[in-house]
Amino acid sequence: MDIIFLQEVKVETRLGVPEWERMRPQTIVLDIELAMPHSRSCQTDAIEDTIDYGCIVARIRETLAEESFKLVEALAEHVCQLILTEFGTPWVKVKVGKPGILPGLKQLGVIIERGKKAV
């Protein structure tokens, strides 16, 4: 399986359980791995034969700017489903990090993996 990875993608969104925490956007950090549906791009060197990671980042930033989440788990699920449904990957792994939210803690977050269900 060929995997595209996007590391330390910084995104602004509204996230947190207390209402005051969702009043202003905050920066979260995403690490994303996604399976390429095929490996044609390795032979053709053509962008149309792969998943355009620039489009993925732009779409994630767009949707997270519009949304508000209480839990990092729900945000991670949202990102996974967006990538699975809009970009045609059969598998995705998303790590969501919320930096500096607690004293003495670099960041907290979740890692989830999702795949398309066989039809």
pLDDT exceeds 60 at position 10: yes
Give the CB-side neighbour count of residue 28, counting CA atoms within 13 A. Answer: 31
Q: Which domain holds residue 108?
A: 3-115
Sign of CA dihedral 63, 69, 75, 77: negative
**Total count of domains within the chain:** 1
Query: What would the pLDDT profile of 34-80 be if each residue is shown by its tens digit?
Result: 998 777 788 888 888 788 899 999 999 999 999 999 999 999 999 99
Distance of CA 15 to the CA centre of its chain: 14
Sheet of 68-69, strand order? 68-69, 3-15, 26-35, 91-99, 107-115
| Alpha-carbon span 69 to 67, nearest angstrom | 7
Q: What is the pLDDT of residue 118?
A: 53
List residues bridging with 11 in a β-sheet.
28
Angle ∠(67,34,61) on CA atoms, nearest 5? 25
As a whole number, mean pLDDT of residues 1-11 equals 94
- pLDDT above 70 coverage of the chain, percent: 98
- pLDDT above 90 coverage of the chain, percent: 67
Q: Which residues have a catalytic role annotated?
A: 98
Tokens of 85: 């449904």
Whichever domain contains 41, its CATH number is 3.30.1130.10
Q: What is the pLDDT of residue 3?
A: 92
